[in-house]
Amino acid sequence: MFIIEEKYLKSSLFPYLKSSSFIIMKIFVSSFSVFLFLITCSCTTVESLDSVYFNGTIHTMEETSISAIGVKDGKINMVGTLDELKSFVNEETDQIDLQGSTMLPGFIDAHSHFTFAAKLAKFAVLSPPPIGNVDTFDAVIKTLQENQKKYDIPEGDWISGWGYDQDQLKEQRHPNRYDLDEAFPNHPVFLYHISGHMGVVNSKAIEILEISAETPDPAGGIIVRNTNSKEPSGLLLESASASARSKIPFPDQEERIEFVKKAQEYYVSQGVTTAQDGFTSIEEYEFLKKVEELGVLEIDIEVLASFQQAERWLKEYNGEFGKQKKGVRLTGLKITTDGSPQGKTAFFSKPYHTKVPGCVHSCTGVPILNPSQLDELINKTYTNGIQTYVHCNGDASIDLLLNAHKANMEFLPNEISDDSRTVIIHSQFVRKDQLDDYKSYGMVPSFFSNHAFYWGDVHVKNLGKERAHFLSPMKTALEKGITFTNHTDYIVTPLNQLFLTHTAVNRISRSGKIIGADERISSMDALRAITINAAYQHKTEQIKGSIAIGKLADFVILENDPTAVPVEEIQNIKVLKTIKEGVVVFSAQI
């Protein structure tokens, strides 16, 4: 039976429809056509569409196979074939011919540091190849000097650099204060390690920071000393580095907004429609909300609140966690339990195989929190129903988390006790028995497969082949039925999502060795990790992560299909367009 919508009954046209049997018959025939369409095409309305995409490969990340997508008001309105959608196309509908390219849901960043990228915009780039060109101490000094001139940094002000990697420097060690002093006697200098977990300062900075031979190591950190001396060498690990970094002035708000725009341009150029800010202070959150109000943001941002302000977050923003589904969204609380494996501060149950700065024997890394501190934080998040994100690289830090989870799981609110989705960020060197616990407790590991390329060779040297080859064990996680994600940890590694897919599929190191052949996964599973699985991680899978009716029209268009090209060519695929809620936010120059 055909039912006329109420808006037509109330219109001035209805008396004419009522008086003409011919027109009534046309309505009947038309309605029957609509009925036939509805049983063959997935859709939510029969209105005209804003845009239609067709003539390409479309990977929905669902069980469906489609060749056309219809978008209305920023959401996916219809999916099916072009013939099925044609009835809802008019002269105002934007018809996008994909011309054989590949369309996927927009990439969802499972872990990076959006505001950090903006804050470090004026830092000198000290990255080694293939990211940068800094591979010697001389190149470090030269790059810092060029940056000083570029920004006209006056004497007495901080000179800062980001991204040095001791394992890729010719000298095969961290710089120290003395390496920097001759070139910068009157400038405090801070060099940020590629891991983000340590840094090097010169003598002028040590003077300003009031660090001396008598200064004790801070909790969760180490002031590395000169050999056979208590004098600081300039290398600061974990909380000692964070304390020094906090003294460096960052750009003012107006300048930061411009840097946010540039960071956003980079994210969308990589097909990312949802970014993450992976360790956010209250001040940074309030800044992001203001930027959102100004209309600057074109993408969504998942905010992970810093555990260092846990009490304030709970007091001032407890009711906001996980409430909204898009925009600048307060997602969960981020806790850091250990450091970096390439920096040798990740916390392991067995020692490193090579010498560790600031340690003499039984060197297993640096636990940033002790068991009681972690237990207290987990209790706060669980009792308040806040999704918990925990940075764990080494297996010993994962043990600490699992113990804290078991001790506090009874305090989870009833409505989420079976679906807390605690996320273990990195899970780099998780053991098989710990993966079983992940499965039992519904935990989500967010792996970091780029390590296989950038530091796979280093991990073999520092940890041995058995541990190194089981880094980010995606295939084993799949076999155990664990939902996992993958991330770049930008700015630790570039945000390139196709390179990230490449490292998950190939696991090839800098030297060309395969790091854990048994843990390689298919390109489709790798793509799921940065789309539908990433939405699941953030608890937004109802509106994101796949191409399905009612979800946001967030898409990425690629020049080639990652599931069809030879696996070694995945990294070369280019992003052609990025679309956020039906609006093109990036288009490649061809």
- The span from the CA of 445 to the CA of 424, in Å, is 5
How many beta carbons lie within 10 A of that of residue 442, not counting itself?
14
Question: Residue 116 in 3-state DSSP?
Answer: helix
Contact at 8 Å (CB) between 298 and 264? yes
- CATH topology match: 122-245 vs 253-549: no
DSSP assignment letter at 540: -
The CATH code of domain 122-245 reads 3.10.310.70
Give pLDDT, residue 43: 53
Q: Which class for 298: exposed (0-12), middle (13-18), buried (19 or more C-beta within 10 A)? A: middle
Whole-number mean pLDDT of the chain?
90
Which tens digit of pLDDT belongs to each residue from 18-69? 333 333 333 343 444 444 444 445 555 447 999 999 999 999 999 888 999 9
Give pLDDT, residue 3: 29
Give pLDDT, residue 120: 82
- The span from the CA of 388 to the CA of 402, in Å, is 13
Question: Residue 453 in 3-state DSSP?
Answer: helix
Give the amino acid at 351: P
Helix axes of 371-383 and 395-408: crossing angle, nearest 10 degrees: 50
- Collect all residues with Cβ–Cβ distance below 8 Å to 349 and sequence separation of at least 6: 364, 394, 395, 396, 399
Residues of the chain with pLDDT under 50: 1-40, 45-46
- For residue 455, what are its two tokens? 């530091």
- For residue 551, what are its two tokens? 């979800």
Q: Which class for 307: exposed (0-12), middle (13-18), buried (19 or more C-beta within 10 A)? A: buried
Helix axes of 310-317 and 282-293: crossing angle, nearest 10 degrees: 40
- For residue 297, what are its two tokens? 């943001």
Q: Which CATH number fits domain 253-549: 3.40.50.360, 3.40.50.620, 3.40.120.10, 3.20.20.140?
A: 3.20.20.140
- For residue 47, what are its two tokens? 């209105």
DSSP assignment letter at 172: -
Give pLDDT, residue 399: 98
Give pLDDT, residue 64: 86
Contact at 8 Å (CB) between 339 and 365? yes
Give pLDDT, residue 414: 86
Domains of the chain by residue range: 122-245, 253-549
- The span from the CA of 118 to the CA of 263, in Å, is 6
How many beta carbons lie within 10 A of that of residue 16, not counting itself?
10
Angle at 232 between CA 227 and CA 233, to 5 degrees: 65
Which tens digit of pLDDT belongs to each residue from 301-339? 999 999 999 999 999 999 999 998 899 999 999 999 999
- The span from the CA of 195 to the CA of 163, in Å, is 8
Give pLDDT, residue 42: 54
